[in-house]
Structure 1
Amino acid sequence: MAPMETTRGYSLANDLKFLINNKNYSDIKIICQDELIIYGNRAILAARSSVLDRLLFNGMKESSINEIKFPEIKFHAMEIILEYLYTENFESESLSLEISIEAYHAADYFQLEQLQQKIVNFVKQSLKERHQCDTKENGEILAPKLLSKAVEKMSPLADNDMIKLLIEWISKTSLEVIGFDSLSFQALQCLLSQTYSSQGPFVTPEYTVFRYAVIQAANNISENAISIIEKKLPVWNDLNKMCEEYSENDSDSQYEEIRSELKEMLSTILPFIDLRRIDTNILVDRIEPLQLLSTSLLLNAYRFQAKEKKSLPHMRGIPLFEWNLQWDKNSKGSNLFLKECNTVVESNPGGLNTTHQNVRANNLIYGEGIYEWEVVIEETCIYAWVGVCTERGLDYNIFAGQQSCAWVLGSSGKCYHNNIGLHYVTEFGSGTKITVHLNMTERSIAFSINGVMHPPVSNWSNLPSKLYPIVSLNSPGRIRLSCVRDWNHIYYKNQKNLKLY
């Protein structure tokens, strides 16, 4: 709606915005990809964009007619362009995640670098807000969809801040939770090619990367093809199955019918999967029999592992504990309550519950590396406890420290495992911030209390290969899962001091 006459002259931005798509004051109409028309002013457009200046005042036909066509730019994206050109900004309600890629592509076309950065910042903030609130379409779902749109509109090999942002976001999300309808095959290739030698955070084991790519290819064939591949490539967590000797089954003949098609589709992606990060037994027993890889790719992996006597770390880049860490509503004691998007746990607030109960986080930790997360004891009880537990075997209604499958540090300053306690630090209370440093390479655990790091717990060596974050509390306890920290260093304990590598 146009501003009233009495408001003219008070705001240059508002007065110029009044001209956007105003047929009465325009001298050119812009025809967009979807055949919709938006009206503009030649002089303003040319003054604000060198691209438009060349198009509108270069002596070609656009200079003499009153319309110009942009067959690759949709109407809503062009609205953002004009709003920025006229007012040097855009209102938050003008842009949405759904049209952000179109708008960024249009800003790139018109060489509007500041607008590109504004759109990138908008997407970054929007994904973060969706992610924190755990909405139906959160960052884990939307970022892959946006990347799929981006590689359709723009070159995935370009030095592109939008694609970089989306790849960084997806790299911190396990591929196992990303649906095949969210991440296109072309977007997957872009992700893997740009993270192959990356030193940034990445949370998906390389075997799972391979499995996801093959199932993604099978998804383009049929549902039956997916079923066949899932039998031949078990999930990463099922190590026992993966290490079993491969045996022929009824699906082998069906697999042969789809193998050549799979191999063709995967030809552009397989070079960006680092086979050196996959255990030799898995390569031999599970991957090589699929006959999807070239001999050279397999030989390079075998030669590397034969020479080094081991594979590379299971994850590319910096192994990073998946950052969407929350308390698991399906893995807690009956008297515990979750609040604030499942980041806070309380023990029956106002109740008289004196029995310690447990809740674990939603992410399983496995693979070499240092995994760090923080919790805040917002309200202590008769000792609040922080630590880790195994994947199975925990009774959530019994104090974790009494159980053989849990290792916890309490606000008493003592550590407990299997009902055996030992002194670790001085007692602490409400307001204490605890950082857990879980070293899955050395299978050890250490704790920082209010920023002061202490050595690994001496009696807890050779921890299990798969663990969950856990806390144990009773009434009136309240514990907040504060954050998971990105890291690019490793803490190591020797006999005299702590060294930083």
Structure 2
Amino acid sequence: SGKIPLTEDNILLNLLVETVANISLNNIEFGRLSITGLQCLLSCTYEKEKPFATPEYEVFRYSAILVAKQVSNDAHKILMRQLPTLEQLENTNSIKLENEFTDRQKVAKRLEPLIKFIEFNQIKARILIEIIEPLEIIPSEIIVSVYRRKALSNDSDSNGIRGKPQKPIDFAESNYVWDESARGSKLIIEDNGKVVRATNDLRVRQNIRAKMILENEGIFEWDVIIEKDCSASWVGVCASENFNYETWAGDQPTGWVLGSN
């Protein structure tokens, strides 16, 4: 089977691929994503200029372990030991090769549908030589082809990750405050912009916006600490224009909130 095309007609597929692509595979438990689902993700992002959260070595690691898990418990345990995460590799001098990998050929066979959608050229030569090649689950012609490409480019074509590099976001501490110019009239900002509270005479739900504006595509995480309990509270996003801070965001087309009640 060939690549699954990303088309305007397949909106659901596009949305699913973009969502999963922005999640590190290390955060997805083995078994939650099927081999077919993983193949779809990799084929739709293969050599595409789209944001992708997982380094390519971790893509290979996840693929191999996922396949091994379906082959046998022994194969799964061996590859879990033989394929450390990038973080573990930074603290490891060498990986001991295990000769008792009896299911090697079965893993290699089941891995074939995924192999053609893994961008091995994005993986550093040292990892290919010391970690991946000794496993003998990748066709030798693929390994040789990658080595030749790296020799010609002096390994400079390795970004470590597929797709379009994500732009760094300026997380200056001064942006982690409430915006004085974007708040309801009954909301008071304190502690150098880090705390907001309501006046005692607040009778209707009002809104306040953080100073940091999320302009890039992607997944963002933040912590909101509610120090004093109230009947209900909401956290969400809103447009920078055509938004009324005096009335509840949930009733406005330019606001989206998730509530505690």
Same fold by TM-score, threshold 0.5 exceeded?
Answer: yes
Aligned with residue 370 of structure 1, among 168, 175, 182: 168
Q: Is the 8 A contact 1:211 1:233 kept in 2?
A: yes
Structure 1, residues 61-105: CA drift from partner, whole Å, max 9, x if none? xxxxxxxxxxxxxxxxxxxxxxxxxxxxxxxxxxxxxxxxxxxxx
- Alignment match, 1:313: 159
TM-superposed deviation, 1:162 = 2.2
SS at structure 2 position matched to 1:292: coil
Normalized per residue, the structure richer in strand is: 1
Aligned with residue 204 of structure 1, among 41, 54, 57: 54
- Alignment match, 1:165: 15
Task: Go from structure 1 to structure 2 and tell me whether the alpha carbon gap of 1:184 and 1:470 turns closer, same or farther (over 3 Å shift).
Answer: closer
User: Structure 2 matches for 1:129-144, cutoff 5 A?
Assistant: none
User: Structure 2 matches for 1:478-497, cutoff 5 A?
Assistant: none
Aligned equivalents of 2:16 and 2:190: distance in 1?
Answer: 39
TM-superposed deviation, 1:191 = 1.1
Task: Go from structure 1 to structure 2 and tell me whether the alpha carbon gap of 1:158 and 1:377 turns closer, same or farther (over 3 Å shift).
Answer: closer
Say whether residues 1:433 and 2:211 are aligned partners.
yes
- Alignment match, 1:290: 135
Stretches of structure 1 lacking an aligned partner (at least 5 in a row): 1-154, 321-368, 385-429, 437-468, 484-501
Task: Go from structure 1 to structure 2 and tell me whether the alpha carbon gap of 1:481 and 1:371 turns closer, same or farther (over 3 Å shift).
Answer: farther
- Alignment match, 1:260: 105
- Alignment match, 1:303: 148
Q: Which has the larger radius of gyration?
A: 1
Stretches of structure 2 lacking an aligned partner (at least 5 in a row): 179-188, 195-207, 215-220, 229-234, 239-261
Aligned equivalents of 1:231 and 1:198: distance in 2?
Answer: 31
SS at structure 2 position matched to 1:182: coil
Aligned equivalents of 1:168 and 1:277: distance in 2?
Answer: 20
Q: Is the 8 A contact 1:376 1:431 kept in 2?
A: no
User: Structure 2 matches for 1:84-103, cutoff 5 A?
Assistant: none
User: Structure 2 matches for 1:274-423, cutoff 5 A?
Assistant: 274-309=119-154, 310-320=156-166, 370-371=168-169, 375-378=175-178, 379-381=189-191
Aligned equivalents of 1:372 and 1:209: distance in 2?
Answer: 27
TM-superposed deviation, 1:192 = 0.7
Q: Is the 8 A contact 2:82 2:96 kept in 1?
A: no
Q: Is the 8 A contact 1:197 1:317 kept in 2?
A: yes
Which sits farther off after the overlay, 283-292 or 175-184?
A: 175-184
Aligned equivalents of 2:42 and 2:55: distance in 1?
Answer: 12
- Alignment match, 1:232: 82
User: Structure 2 matches for 1:47-86, cutoff 5 A?
Assistant: none
Task: Go from structure 1 to structure 2 and tell me whether the alpha carbon gap of 1:284 and 1:377 turns closer, same or farther (over 3 Å shift).
Answer: same
- Alignment match, 1:219: 69
SS at structure 2 position matched to 1:319: coil
Q: Is the 8 A contact 1:175 1:209 kept in 2?
A: yes
Structure 1, residues 11-67: CA drift from partner, whole Å, max 9, x if none? xxxxxxxxxxxxxxxxxxxxxxxxxxxxxxxxxxxxxxxxxxxxxxxxxxxxxxxxx
TM-superposed deviation, 1:168 = 1.2
Aligned with residue 118 of structure 2, among 250, 270, 273: 273
SS at structure 1 position matched to 2:177: strand
Q: Is the 8 A contact 1:218 1:225 kept in 2?
A: yes
TM-superposed deviation, 1:253 = 3.2
Letter in 1 for 2:94: E
Structure 1, residues 106-128: CA drift from partner, whole Å, max 9, x if none? xxxxxxxxxxxxxxxxxxxxxxx
Structure 1, residues 245-302: CA drift from partner, whole Å, max 9, x if none? 3333xxx2331x1100000001111111111111111111100101111222112222
TM-superposed deviation, 1:376 = 4.4
Q: Is the 8 A contact 1:280 1:311 kept in 2?
A: no
Number of equivalences: 195
Say whether residues 1:184 and 2:30 are aligned partners.
no
SS at structure 2 position matched to 1:219: helix
SS at structure 1 position matched to 2:43: helix
Aligned equivalents of 1:174 and 1:236: distance in 2?
Answer: 12
Root-mean-square deviation (CA), in Å?
3.4
Q: Is the 8 A contact 1:218 1:229 kept in 2?
A: yes
Structure 1, residues 145-183: CA drift from partner, whole Å, max 9, x if none? xxxxxxxxxx94584332222111111111112223221
Aligned equivalents of 1:189 and 1:470: distance in 2?
Answer: 31
Aligned equivalents of 1:302 and 1:258: distance in 2?
Answer: 26
Letter in 2 for 1:370: P
- Alignment match, 1:247: 96
Aligned equivalents of 1:432 and 1:194: distance in 2?
Answer: 35
The higher-RCO structure (CA 8 Å, 6+ apart) is 2
Aligned equivalents of 1:281 and 1:482: distance in 2?
Answer: 43
TM-score when normalising by structure 2: 0.63
Letter in 2 for 1:187: G
User: Structure 2 matches for 1:16-31, cutoff 5 A?
Assistant: none
Structure 1, residues 299-350: CA drift from partner, whole Å, max 9, x if none? 2222222222224211211234xxxxxxxxxxxxxxxxxxxxxxxxxxxxxx
Q: Is the 8 A contact 1:156 1:163 kept in 2?
A: no
